[in-house]
Structure 1
Amino acid sequence: MKMPDDEIRAIVAETLAEQHRLHQESIDAIVLKAVASVLASFGIEDDDRKEVRADFQHLRRWRKSVEQAQSYTFKAVITVIVTGLVGAVWLGVKVMLGK
């Protein structure tokens, strides 16, 4: 008894899909194990996830505040330089007009 081509295609497609799913599951397991191993080598265990996340959030807030402080410092330095130049020009103009 010969099977219809559609039925053969369906069986092959189902088999390939199952193989793909199993292959993907094994890849996911390997990647998860590798990441856990790398994190463990840095002293980060699975139970520390919340603390590690909080640490990264704190570092991000710290970095942003430092960047903001640098921005304000840069603006303050520019303001001082411009004010000094304007003051020097003003004094020059006063001296020239005073003669």
Structure 2
Amino acid sequence: MKVVDDEIRAIVAETLAEQQRLQQDSIDAIVLKAVASVLASFGIEDDDRKEIRADFQHLRRWRKSVEQAQSYTFKAVITAIATGLMGAVWLGVKVVPGK
């Protein structure tokens, strides 16, 4: 009786695992079709993947260069302000002893 129960459990487990694999394959196919449909609605076909990837890489490089330029600009502005303040203090120090 124990052997029969174990065999039944094994068969049921195998059947459930196969059913889950089939469902996963079905879900994957549905998702792939939905994504392809959405991309097609934007005018993006499957053949355009390499070009789209290149476009995104270009946009990323552009964004990073703009961020770097903003960082340099911020540093330059801070340096100019600090230099101006130092010049004003220096000028004040030179004028005061002359009075």
TM normalised by structure 1 equals 0.95
Identical columns (%): 89
SS at match of 1:4: helix
Q: Which residue in 1 is equivalent to 2:25?
A: 25
Unaligned runs of 5+ in 2: none
Number of residues of Structure 1 aligned to a counterpart in Structure 2: 99
Q: Which residue in 2 is equivalent to 1:69?
A: 69
TM normalised by structure 2 equals 0.95
Unaligned runs of 5+ in 1: none
Task: Give RMSD over aligned pairs.
Answer: 1.5
* Distance in structure 2 (CA, Å) of the matches to 1:97 and 1:24: 86
Q: Which residue in 1 is equivalent to 2:96?
A: 96
Structure 1's consecutive aligned runs of 4 or more residues displaced over 6 angstroms after TM superposition are none
Deviations 1:5-25 (A, max 9, x none): 110010000000001000000
